[in-house]
Amino acid sequence: MTELLVGTKKGMFRLEGDPRGGFEITARAFAGQSVEYAMRDPRTGRYLASVTSWFYGPRIWITDDPTGEWEQAKGTVLPGDDEVDPAAEFSGDPDDMYKGALNRLWVIVPGVEDGVLYAGGDPGPLFESRDGGLTWSLNRGLWNHPSRPEWNPGAGGLCLHTIVTWPGDPSKLLLAISAVGVWLSDDGGATWRHSNEGIVLRYLPEEARAATAEKPQHCVHNVRRAPTRPERLFMQFHDGIYRSDDAGATWVDVGTDKGLPSDFGFPIVVDPADPDSAYVIPLIGAEDRTTPGGTVRVWETRDAGASWEPRGDGLPEQDAYLTILREAFDTKSEGQALELYFGATSGEVFGSGDAGATWSQVGDHLPPIYSVRTA
């Protein structure tokens, strides 16, 4: 039995089933609210969801039973609440009005140590919990980084969307922020350094790239680590696919001239059993952001990006212009039993129980899908 937690524009849905026998909806929560991300902590079995009320803002909720009551977590706030006089003169400029306010929480990731979780959001904060997600605190090392005034948002906002831990070592962390870049820490998040060497900013004029290479303006879309070879990472960039073999210190292009219909996309996943594996879902980018030619394909590498092959048996062949967002692709198990699931903004969920060889539609008619996570 596989559990899929699907975050949508209109609440969270839990689907249960298996890729061959089909799935059914067994829970819905937060009706009418945007659920950016929902996950189940494998250490405790607890469910955590980042939920944004159109009216009342973003926060994290926790439960042991997604069909029951959810508890509101505390502490996912930015500095300023006790530093501002609410009766003070307001400039009237909307940019000033929301400076420093949390807009969304993009992702929740279990840490290495018991009870530790991380959450990333917009405008670029990293939060840490040490009690399983009930209370959170802001990582000041990143929030107060001197380069922050140079950070600029991507189309989805100034979002800290990727948090990658290192198996067995809580001191090593990797983050990615759009459109800022990759950040590395070797001291558990006390200090951070920008690490984007090798990434080519093709969205800038060629003559401007060298002068801006050191600046934090890299539009990273997603990063996953190969757990059996943790110094290896795969990255879906704004317009490129990259690999690092040195824990994110440098990056090499593995997407150009490899037959991919596009090197634009949002999510990337790996087979945990194979450090040479990665899966992407190319979209025509960046203005269109739909599946190329109306054909839905997942592309797979098993040689660390030297070559890519399309996997689409069972996926829509024509007239299917889908958009798959950053967090809407996930895996379960590994090797030959690897399960893959992704959801589209048009409400479909597709799944494979044989490492991408064959696919079936496991969900339909859902609201626009923001995230898919397995449990």
Among 44, 57, 361, 374, binds another protein (CB under 8 A): 57
Give residue 16's identity as a one-letter amino acid code.
E
Among 54, 95, 210, 319, binds another protein (CB under 8 A): 54
103/291 with CB nearer another protein = 103
What H or E segment, with its residue span, contains residue 194?
strand 193-194
84/357 with CB nearer another protein = 84
Largest CA-CA distance found in the chain, in angstroms, rounded: 62
Minimal distance in Å, beta carbon 357 to another protein? 44
Pick the closest to residue 159 from 375, 373, 371, 311 (CA basis).
371
Minimal distance in Å, beta carbon 127 to another protein? 13
Please give the distance of CA 140 from its chain centroid, rounded to a whole number.
22
Residue 245, Cβ neighbours under 10 Å: how many?
A: 16
- Decide if residue 238 touches another protein (CB under 8 A): no
Minimal distance in Å, beta carbon 81 to another protein? 5
86/146 with CB nearer another protein = 86
Q: How far apart are CA 48 and CA 181, in angstroms?
A: 26
Q: How far apart are CA 77 and CA 100, in angstroms?
A: 9
Between residue 248 and residue 267, which ones bind another protein under the rule CB under 8 A? none
Residue the block writes with tokens 């539609």: 361
Bond from prior residue into 367 cis (ω within 30 degrees of 0): no
Residue 154, Cβ neighbours under 10 Å: how many?
A: 18
Handedness of CA 343, 349, 353, 359 (dihedral sign): negative
83/319 with CB nearer another protein = 83
- Decide if residue 72 touches another protein (CB under 8 A): yes
Tokens read off for 178: 């759009």
What H or E segment, with its residue span, contains residue 163?
strand 159-166
Q: What is the size of the binding site for another protein (CB under 8 A)?
A: 26
Candidates 72-80, 129-137, 142-150, 331-339 — which segment interacts with another protein by CB under 8 A? 72-80
102/349 with CB nearer another protein = 102
DSSP letters, 336-347, are GG-EEEEE-TTS
125/343 with CB nearer another protein = 125
What x-and-dash track marks residues 76-115 binding another protein by CB under 8 A?
-xxxxx--xxxxxxx---x--xxxxxx-------------
53/307 with CB nearer another protein = 53
For the chain, how far is it from start to end, CA to CA, in angstroms? 9
Minimal distance in Å, beta carbon 247 to another protein? 34
- Decide if residue 69 touches another protein (CB under 8 A): no
Read off the DSSP letter of residue 65.
Answer: -
Minimal distance in Å, beta carbon 176 to another protein? 24
Tokens read off for 29: 């929560």
Integer-rounded Cα Rg, in Å, for the chain is 20
136/342 with CB nearer another protein = 136
Minimal distance in Å, beta carbon 51 to another protein? 12
Minimal distance in Å, beta carbon 29 to another protein? 13
What are the DSSP E strand ranges found in 213-305? Answer: 220-225, 233-237, 240-244, 252-253, 268-269, 278-280, 298-301
Q: How far apart are CA 197 and CA 59, in angstroms?
A: 34
160/268 with CB nearer another protein = 160
Among 14, 40, 46, 59, binds another protein (CB under 8 A): 59
Minimal distance in Å, beta carbon 116 to another protein? 23
Minimal distance in Å, beta carbon 100 to another protein? 5
Site residues (vs another protein, CB under 8 A): 53-57, 59, 72, 77-81, 84-90, 94, 97-102
